[in-house]
Amino acid sequence: MRRNLEYPFTMTKVRKLKAGQTVSLAGRIFTGRDRLHKLLSDGGKSPVDLANGALYHSGPVVIRRDGAWLVRAAGPTTSMRQERYMASVIEQHHVRVIIGKGGMGEGTRLACAKFGCVYLQVVGGAGVVLADTVKQVAGVHFLREFGEAEAMWELVVKGLKAVVTIDAHGRSLHKKVKISSRRALTRVLR
Q: What domains lie within the chain, and their CATH numbers?
A: 3-189 (3.20.130.10)
Answer whether residue 179 shows pLDDT above 90: no
State the Cα–Cα distance between residues 47 and 30, nearest whole angstrom: 11
The catalytic site residues sit at 37
Answer whether residue 180 shows pLDDT above 90: no
pLDDT of residue 130: 96
Per-residue pLDDT of 4-25, as tens digits, reads 999 999 999 999 999 999 999 9
Mean pLDDT of 20-31: 98
DSSP string of 117-140?
-EEEE--TT-HHHHHTTEEEEEEE
CA 107, 103, 166, 138 torsion-angle sign: positive
Strands 134-141 and 152-166: antiparallel
pLDDT of residue 106: 96
pLDDT of residue 159: 98
pLDDT of residue 1: 78
Answer whether residue 81 shows pLDDT above 80: yes
Where helices occur in the chain by DSSP H, the ranges are 11-15, 34-41, 83-93, 106-115, 127-131, 143-146, 173-189
pLDDT of residue 174: 79
The conformational region for residue 63 under phi > 0 = left, psi -120 to 50 = alpha, else beta, is beta
| Cis amide leading into 8 (omega within 30) | yes
